[in-house]
Amino acid sequence: MSIRDQQREAVIERLAGHLLEHGLARTSLRQLAAAAGVSDRMLLYYFADKAEVLAAVMARVAGELSVRLAEAIPDGAPLKPAELVRRAAAFTTGPEMRRFMRLWVEVVAAAARGEAPFPAIVAQVMAGFRHWVDGRLDLPEGADRAGTAAAVIAVIDGLALVDICSEDEIAPRMAAALSTLLAE
């Protein structure tokens, strides 16, 4: 592997941590380069342009998220929607995963603004989420699997969105209240 490719990997790794820590707040080329410990000139030597940097870093973050999701809620017997929501909510509101969800909300908003490369990233990650949920849903015959999967994701993402702009102590109460709202 060339030095260039090694550096690419190292930069992606460092920038994944940077994005998880600061969200999309410090993502100018010069700020990204500083966070990665390289010059902005070299960042554009390793990557074609800023969009490619962000796409590569987001792919890494998404991969890490899916690994952790698979660990937290492994394949096995399918779960009823309410139970899946409870377990996913407990996972995503945990101290480790909150920054993932926060970044996710920011990325969705950037995609809504049409800012490259986020629309493509969001489409891909969202499709992955849907597929993942669909594969773990225990639903009666004839139920709308895709609709239910979307609803499950909506609830999880909604928790994250409210979590972002609330005092810390409300999150567990919100999750608990949500749990009682869900049918068995």
Residues that bind DNA (CB under 7 A): 2-4, 7, 27-31, 38-42, 44-45, 49-51
Taking the C-alpha atoms of residue 124 and residue 77, their distance in angstroms, rounded to an integer, is 26
Per-residue 3-state assignment (H helix, E strand, C coil) for 110-133: HHHCCCCCHHHHHHHHHHHHHHHH
* Residue 36, C-beta contacts closer than 8 angstroms, at least 6 positions apart: 10, 11, 14, 15, 18, 43
**Site size toward a copy of itself, by CB under 8 A:** 53
| Window contacting a copy of itself (CB under 8 A); options: 29-37, 39-47, 54-62, 155-163 | 155-163
Toward DNA, which CB reaches closer, 51 or 182?
A: 51
Q: What is the DSSP letter of 137?
A: B
Binding mask 17-56 for a copy of itself (x = CB under 8 A): ------xxx-------------------------------
The answer to whether 114 contacts a copy of itself (rule: CB under 8 A) is yes
